[in-house]
Structures are given as C-alpha cells and as structure tokens.
Amino acid sequence: MPRVTPLHSRVGPLCQGSRWEEWSGFLTATMYELDHLHEYNAIRTGCGLFDVSPLLKYDIRGRDAVTLMNRVIVRDAKKCRIGQVLYTTWCDDDGKVIDDGTVSRLADDHFRLTAAVPALHWLQHNAIGLEATVEDVSEQIAAVSIQGPTSRDLLAKLTNADLPNLRFFHCTQADVAGADAWISRTGYTGDLGYEVFVEPQNAVKLWDAMMELGDSYQMRPAGTVALDLARVEAGLLLIDADFISAAQTMFDVQKTSPYDLGLAWMVDLEKDFFIGQRALREEKEKGSRWLTVGLELDVTVMEKFYAEWGMPLHLPDRTWAEAVPVFADAAQTKHIGRGTSGTWSPVLKKYVVIARLRPEHAKPGNKIFIEEVIEAVSYSVPATVVKMPFFDPPRKKAWGAEAK
C-alpha cells in the first residue's frame, strides 16, 4: 500500500478531487484542483510548488567516491566540482540505459544521486573493492521543487543564499525558512526553478512558509499532470514513457542507449572505465539505431481529418505517453520510428511530440508523418522534425547580473 510523504498533512487537504498516483511507493497528487491548467499556467507565468519527496536519493561517500561515480555514470565525475550538479545516465554492460538522474557533488568525498529506479544494491555491488559507502537516504530527506519565472524572487524571501549567483545545475547549502537545506538550481519543467532538500521534520515548515508568500508570486501547488506537460515542452525524457529501463525488460528491442535518446553529448568515452563503455564505443563507430528528436504537428491538416467526421479539431489537453507510429510517407508504407510523448503546448500554441526516429530521417526540417486515429481510422498527420527543447526561456540559465 502506498505511503504518504512528510508533506501529506498539507498536500492531502489541498487535493480537491483526491486524485493520487503512486511514485516510488508514495502517494503523490496528479492535480490539486479539478483541472490542471491553473497549475500549468502558474508554472509558466508565476511558479508551481511540487512535493518531490518520493525521489530516490543515494549518498555516496568515502575516499573512492569519485572512482565509484566514474565507474557507474557515463559522464566524468572527476570534472564535477563541489556544488555542481550533473544530469546523467547510467548503463548496463551493453551500453543500454538503466536510468537517468542527477549527481550532485556536496564535498570532495560526497556525492548524492537521484534516481527513478531503485539502485542501492547495484551501486553497492559496484563499490566492492573501493573505499566508498552507499546509503539510501530517500526517506531521510524531504524535498520540494519550486518552478517558474517568480520562483527565484519567492525563494529569496526565505533564504540567505545568493540565488542570483547560483548557476544553472549548481547547488548550495543554506538556511531556508529557518532550516538547514540544500538548494539545487534544477527541475523538470525547463524553466527557472529550484529544488530544496530538507530533513523530514522541517518539510511542513518549509511548505507553509512558501504557501504564505504564494499569492504575492502567483504560486500554486502543482501535481504531476501539469509537471508532465511542462517537461514535454522542455524536451525532457521520462522513464516508462520515452524509454524503458534496461533493468526492467528482458527484450533487446525495448532497450535504448544514450545515443538512441539524443544524449550523446553526455557520454565521455575517453574517461576512466565505466560500465557500458566498450559497447558505447562500438556503437559510436557503427552508428545508432535511433535518434530522439522533437516533432511539430500540422494541426490544420488534423482539423480537416476531424471535419470529415463532422467533428471539431481535438487536441490533447494533457500529455500522452505511448508508442505512436511514425512514417516517411503519408501512405504509411515506410515505418521510421515512434512518437513517445506528446501534448498540445498552451504556451507555444503548438502540438509537440518527442519521437525516436531512424537517424537518416531525424534531420531538423525533415517532413514526416505521424499516425492519428479518428473513429478507428488511421490518418497520417504531417510533422516537421525540430530540435529540442521546444520551450527554452533565457531565464532558465540566467545568473549574476542577468538574473537581477
């Protein structure tokens, strides 16, 4: 049976429709109101407040902490400075992605890894022979995420941290609402935002302090439906939607490499040995099966298809996450990939899709077709390949004088 987070005494009464889902064994709200659009709009015009306590969190400490991290992730942990956060994947021996997450360097010999798939035993196994310990601290640390253009101004009212000079994908230790906390300039919305990690006994105090300031900064508590919409706009991948963990399937056809997922930029083949290194070197030489890109759909053509049935254009009001066939031709004779997540973007006024295509069809500007089923009839909707992220405001990375 799902458990509740340290913030349930606050988020529970706010969840008007009692709409919950399970996240790592904990209840989390899908939306607080009866519709998610107010929450989404807060993320893009004010800020949204999320309870992200269910995140799996692992502390890696010891003299060989750097060596262990370098062994398990595809990026070079040696280059990670204290106070820096890395987005990375980790792979199996065949170079297939087990999971993605963040690695924060909190001290010379201390890293913290966040994950979606349980990794304690895998990390401990890979620590054999090293002077490094791995501890699951998931329930020892509660977390909130505050995301959106007013997030910095709100958080600044509660902390002594120099937020304008906290760079994108960096973290700092500070007092927040009277409690010791780690502030990480990260998030899952593609916007300006922060994640704040505190001890569970301080979580309610932190939440209350943010909620007290909420009206002044157009803040709303937000659930996973609004978050999912924002992350697609940001071109951010979701496990069990855009890829399947190699640890959770036995079928090679369902496994993907960092290259397949458009994450070649993070793979450092020249660093010290890491799990999957040999396979990824071979893949780089031979080429990948897939490339993950963005698609923008032609909704004017979709409108005509719906009109054939006497129906108005139907656009998704929330994210879908399923395998949707993609073709090189309107006749659907040449299958070239799949859409994995898609949504109508309210802020962009576009229908956007994350897709995995054959590399020869993945060049930006290429015209392809994605399936739309209307009244059990398959149609081919024209789509254009584009680079991701779809939504990428300058404020997301601005810091120093630019942030003031």
Q: What percent of the chain clears pLDDT 70, i.e. is strictly above it? A: 100
Of the residues 169, 202, 222, the one at which a domain ends: 222
C-alpha–C-alpha distance, residues 110 and 64, integer Å:
10
C-alpha–C-alpha distance, residues 295 and 305, integer Å:
19
The residue whose two tokens read 């108005």 is 312
Tell me if 159 is assigned to some domain. yes
Which segments within 44-96 are labelled E, that is strand? 47-51, 56-61, 85-91
The residue whose two tokens read 């010791």 is 180
Tens-place pLDDT, residues 294-324: 999 999 999 999 999 999 999 999 999 999 9
Judgement on whether residues 26 and 149 belong to the same structural domain of the protein: yes
Tell me if 261 is assigned to some domain. no
Tell me if 16 is assigned to some domain. yes
Which segments within 18-71 are labelled E, that is strand? 20-23, 26-29, 47-51, 56-61
Judgement on whether residues 201 and 325 belong to the same structural domain of the protein: no
Give the CATH number of the domain where residue 312 resides. 2.40.30.110
The answer to whether 339 touches 355, Cβ cutoff 8 Å, is yes
> Residue 329 sits in which domain range?
291-386
pLDDT over threshold 80, residue 404: no
Tens-place pLDDT, residues 81-136: 999 999 999 999 999 999 999 999 999 999 999 999 999 999 999 999 999 999 99
Judgement on whether residues 36 and 157 belong to the same structural domain of the protein: yes
C-alpha–C-alpha distance, residues 164 and 167, integer Å:
8
What pLDDT does residue 300 have?
A: 98
- Report strand pairing: 324-327 vs 193-198: unpaired
Q: What is the average pLDDT score of the chain?
A: 97
Tens-place pLDDT, residues 337-355: 999 999 999 999 999 999 9
Of the residues 222, 244, 260, the one at which a domain ends: 222
Judgement on whether residues 214 and 326 belong to the same structural domain of the protein: no
Judgement on whether residues 146 and 49 belong to the same structural domain of the protein: yes
**How many domains, the chain?**
2
Tens-place pLDDT, residues 107-122: 999 999 999 999 999 9
Q: pTM of whole model > 0.85?
A: yes
Q: Which two tokens stand for residue 359?
A: 């590399």
Give the CATH number of the domain where residue 173 resides. 3.30.1360.120
Tell me the pLDDT band of 2, cut-offs 50, 70 and 90.
confident
